[in-house]
Amino acid sequence: MKPINIEYYNFSKRESDVIRELMKGNIMKEIADILCIAFSTVDSRIRSAKKKTGAKNIAQLVYIYILQNLAIYNKVKK
């Protein structure tokens, strides 16, 4: 398995909020209700984060988000 190169993406607070809700298994409609934002805003934040990271789908976006946060955690922990 080749090593993964972790890039650091500057996710906005709202992008992070939406991705964390996706990680909990919530669908876009539920995320809109939980965060008290429009469905179109949820969709926009997902598209923005996917474009920023080059993710092809939501699963890949969540994977990248988790890797980035683990890398940040490990860097801070040292």
The CATH number of the domain holding residue 36 is 1.10.10.10
Instruction: Give the pLDDT score at 2.
Output: 46
In a domain, 4, yes or no: no
Parent domain of 63: 13-77
Q: Per the domain annotation, does 57 fall within a domain?
A: yes
**End-to-end alpha carbon distance in the chain:** 25
In Å, how far from its chain's centre is CA 77? 22
User: One digit per residue, pLDDT tens: the chain, 78 residues?
Assistant: 344 556 688 899 999 999 999 999 999 999 999 999 999 999 999 999 999 999 999 999 999 999 988 876 666 665
Q: What confidence score (pLDDT) does residue 17 get?
A: 97
The structure's pTM equals 0.84
| CA 74/CA 60 separation, integer angstroms | 21
With respect to residue 5, please indicate whether it lies within any of the assigned structural domains.
Answer: no
User: Based on the structure, what is the number of domains in the chain?
Assistant: 1
